[in-house]
Structure 1
Amino acid sequence: MFPTELLRDAGALLDDLKQRGLKIATAESCTGGLLMGLLTEIAGSSAVVERGFITYSNQAKSQMLGVDAGLIERLGAVSEEVARAMAEGALGAAPVDLAVSVTGIAGPDGGTPQKPVGLVYLAAAMRGGATLVRDCRFGDIGRTQIRLATLAEALSLARGAMSV
């Protein structure tokens, strides 16, 4: 279902989490649960995967993760600040040590000159640690390719947050 390299990287993240006795949650918008799907594609993932929040709508981001509706209204759902709030909200809403969030514009519609198709913000928050945020500008490479590229970045960011 997923490319081999994504499965390899997901397995490495899960191994790191297991070795450290940590749990993970995801908060996803433009990936619509693909990150959780990727993680749970790996046998034994239940040892470290706690839950996923699919918050496709702005209302869901506010209701499920506590993202301030005013923040979304002011900056838009696709912003560094909302990605950060999503990850930190997931961390607060679940008994986990690490939360990874994704919000972006996968297309083919929805882009603007300021926020084009292919713009994705990701965040990884560690309990008691820092929240890392990354913006990616994949370009209009197609919806599926944007979402798959986002998964690779999310895995990388999660591993980075664990090493800070």
Structure 2
Amino acid sequence: MDGHPQPARYAGGCRRYRSDRYSVPHRWPQGEQVTRLANAEEQLVAKLRERGETVAFCESLTAGLAAATVANVPGASAVLRGGLVTYATEVKAQFLNTTVDSLEAQGVVSAATAAEMAEAALVETRADWGIGLTGVAGPDLQEGKPAGTVYVGLCGRVGGDVAKRGVLYELPDERRNAIRAAAVQAALSLLLSTLEEK
């Protein structure tokens, strides 16, 4: 992950980077990129198996859809550790070891929360990679953000440390389930592209 901030001790016994959260807007890709993303789960399972690594999820707006999408791929049992569905704010706060007030002040739908959700997935399941998803499926605004606003958190083990980041995706304002499905593909593709860079 980018940067070299000083690591801090995580409550669960792992070490983490405290200040490597950031948000980068991504427009939903068009044309050939969409075709590539259509089978991101198959490519991701193959890549993780090749590397001997595992993944876990902490999901809000997708409510387990990302983990289920990976589980649909034959051979997923070799790479999928598990998943958390933290749909309610108080449940997110519980798994993130914080309070509802603190979480709302930070932003339930934010890069920081997505990154912390990814870390929670990694720590709770002892996976090599954690993915967090939080966002607005619509039709109503949430925290002033429109439908299609999605933050994907990615957390990975780097040596003995854990590095994480949050990425903003601005998906088309479509029906709820279309946004949720697009969020899953964005998340899987983010991890896949990260693995391909390493």
Q: Does 1:142 align with 2:172?
A: no
Higher percent of residues as helix: 1
Counterpart residue type for residue 55 of structure 1: T
> Following the alignment from structure 2 to structure 1, what is the Cα–Cα distance between the partners of residues 138 and 46?
33
**Do the aligned partners of residues 120 and 140 (structure 1) sit closer, same or farther apart at CA in structure 2, a change above 3 Å counting?**
same
Aligned counterpart, 1:38: 69
> Following the alignment from structure 1 to structure 2, what is the Cα–Cα distance between the partners of residues 135 and 54?
20
How far did 1:17 drift? 0.6
Aligned counterpart, 1:127: 157
**Do the aligned partners of residues 160 and 66 (structure 1) sit closer, same or farther apart at CA in structure 2, a change above 3 Å counting?**
farther
Count residues with an aligned counterpart: 161
Instruction: Point out where structure 2 has 5 or more consecutive residues left out of the alignment.
Output: 1-34
Find the partner of 1:51 among 70, 73, 82.
Answer: 82
Give aligned-pair identity as a percent.
Answer: 34
TM-score (norm 2): 0.74
Aligned counterpart, 1:153: 186
1:26-54: per-residue Cα shift (whole Å, max 9, x none)?
A: 01000011101100011110111010000
**Do the aligned partners of residues 16 and 86 (structure 1) sit closer, same or farther apart at CA in structure 2, a change above 3 Å counting?**
same
TM-score (norm 1): 0.88
Higher relative contact order, structure no. (Cα contacts within 8 Å, ≥ 6 residues apart): 2
Instruction: Point out where structure 1 has 5 or more consecutive residues left out of the alignment.
Output: none
Find the partner of 2:53 among 22, 28, 43.
Answer: 22
Counterpart residue type for residue 39 of structure 2: R
Q: Which has the larger radius of gyration?
A: 2
1:45-81: per-residue Cα shift (whole Å, max 9, x none)?
A: 0111010000001121122343554441202210111
Q: Does structure 2 retain, via aligned residues, the 8 Å contact 1:65–1:93?
A: no
Counterpart residue type for residue 31 of structure 1: T
How far did 1:7 drift? 6.1
